[in-house]
Amino acid sequence: MKKQLIPIICIGGGFLLLFTVWWYKTYPPVTKVTINNHAWIVKVAITSEEKEIGLSRTTSLAPNTGMIFPFLTKELHQFWMKNMNFPLDFIWMDERTVVEVTPNVQPCSTGTPCEPFRPTKPSTKVLEIPAGEAQKYDIKAGDVVIIK
């Protein structure tokens, strides 16, 4: 009887793993980022693939939404706008504060090399939001960041 349970448990575990991977890819984790009493609901790019793709497969971005890219190290992380369909504001952050803002970053043109964007100071996270929202909500270096 015990020998019959082992394959059943392995098959069940395999299905559970596949379901978990499918769920995670279909419904990526989201979080809330608040700066200057204004909140954005953002997708979290965790894996290297998610960080490389970012929002490039998105046709538009609703107000007060975006994507956050957390990193394990504090450094001059660089981003590009390859295959993007709309401009963004980049908010470079460390653990609890805004380090720098790069506003109105335009998608690169088809057929031309994409120039990388990087801050002048190291960061541990990058928040991408619709272009113009950083100015609209007066986001600047030194502002406190709350992530829930």
Please check the confidence at residue 74 and state whether its pLDDT lies above 60.
yes
Enumerate the β-bridge partners of residue 58. none
* pLDDT score for 13: 64
* pLDDT score for 16: 55
Please check the confidence at residue 10 and state whether its pLDDT lies above 90.
no
Q: What is the pLDDT of residues 103-143, one digit of tens each?
A: 999 998 777 788 899 999 999 999 999 999 999 999 999 99
Q: Which domains does the chain have, with CATH numbers?
A: 29-147 (2.60.120.1140)
82-85 contacts at long range (C-beta below 8 A, 24 or more positions apart): 82/56, 82/108, 82/114, 83/56, 83/57, 83/107, 84/55, 84/56, 84/108, 85/56, 85/58, 85/59, 85/60
Work out the average pLDDT over 24-30: 61
* pLDDT score for 23: 46
130 in Cβ contact with 90 (< 8 Å): no
Phi, psi of 49 (to 5 degrees): -65, -45
Please check the confidence at residue 30 and state whether its pLDDT lies above 70.
yes
How many secondary structure helices (H) and strands (E) does the chain include?
A: 3, 7
Phi, psi of 128 (to 5 degrees): -105, 125
pTM to 2 decimals?
0.80
